[in-house]
Copies of this chain bind each other. A is one copy, B any other.
């Protein structure tokens, strides 16, 4: 059986995803679970504590996946699988991405961790980049800063795709995981060598 703490986290995640953090109070979470506000604050003193716990669940999951870069063979198929997995987590914890500016502006623990996380993400990107270059899957740069800017764009697509869906469409559905992955991966296609492009086309026809 699920304990109260776990129930609070699951319900909070659902409410945060649906309404945005600022519209969900501790009182509302308690009411939806039919528990007393006192019972809730016994487990989580402030709403920020719930936000943080959920945020760290997300980043722990994503980091575990990114660690595979150290052990597995890095090719396009690996990247496709990794991205599908990561975008599934992003979708599950989407309130973090929909409210990321607010979270980072208002919560110092999350802000500090996010700075650590983007450094790590850049390191991982360079690992992938070097592997693809060695395997002659990626072309050499044609412009100064070309791959630095590509990386910046990938970062923005990673963090803000769901926000873009939220403001331009009728709501976020499960289909958006696959689409997020495709829109993200297609941005590397024109930088691939002929060998890389052929491999890419085979992969997307299979998936």
Binding site for B on A (CB under 8 A): 20, 22, 98-102, 104-105, 114-115, 118, 142-143, 145-146, 149-150, 152-153, 155-157, 159-161, 163-164, 166-168, 182-183, 186-187, 189-191, 197, 201, 204
* Closest B residue to A155 using CB positions: B164
The 7 closest A-B pairs by CB, nearest first: A190-B190, A160-B160, A149-B186, A104-B167, A156-B164, A149-B183, A101-B163
Measured in the bound complex, the distance between the Cα atoms of B168 and A114 in whole Å is 8
Mind listing 30 A-B residue pairs with CB under 8 Å?
A: A20-B101, A99-B101, A100-B163, A101-B167, A114-B167, A114-B168, A115-B168, A142-B190, A142-B197, A143-B186, A145-B182, A145-B186, A146-B186, A146-B189, A149-B183, A149-B186, A150-B186, A152-B183, A153-B157, A153-B186, A153-B187, A155-B168, A156-B156, A156-B161, A156-B164, A159-B164, A159-B167, A160-B163, A187-B187, A190-B191
